[in-house]
Amino acid sequence: MKKTIICTVCPNGCEVVAEYTSKDDVQLSGNRCKRGVEYCINECFDPKRTFTSSVAIKGASRRRMPVRTSAPIPKDMLFACAEEVKKVTLSAPAVCGQTVIADILGTGVDLVACMSLDKKED
């Protein structure tokens, strides 16, 4: 199998070509350094992304709280995560870093708040 990957580990953005038959038989070309090797192998066999979104919040000055996963999760679970966040409504006050959904979809990764929002004064 052959795959072209843009390495995003650093701003160089090398275009890396991976040719492989299995995880133990991967030939890479185009990477300018070794740091891209792990990234490209993961992109071939276990691509992951940090999920970002927002959830509803009641009683704050804003209606939405930005959230993200505390670590990258499997890329093929991003749409399922988007469905999960629709089910959540926070209540102010909320603190940056607080867990919004623990172990989202059994990934072992938490969805966390990205900002602090106080309770709105009436």
The footprint of ligand SF4 (CB under 6 A) covers 7, 9-10, 12-14, 31-33, 35-36
In angstroms, the CA 18 to CA 67 distance is 33
For residues 114 and 65, the answer to whether their CB atoms sit within 8 Å is yes
Q: Is 41 helix (H, G, I), strand (E, B) or coil?
A: helix
In angstroms, the CA 113 to CA 90 distance is 10
In angstroms, the CA 48 to CA 93 distance is 31
Cβ nearer to ligand SF4, comparing 26 with 56: 26
Cβ nearer to ligand SF4, comparing 33 with 71: 33
Cβ nearer to ligand SF4, comparing 36 with 117: 36
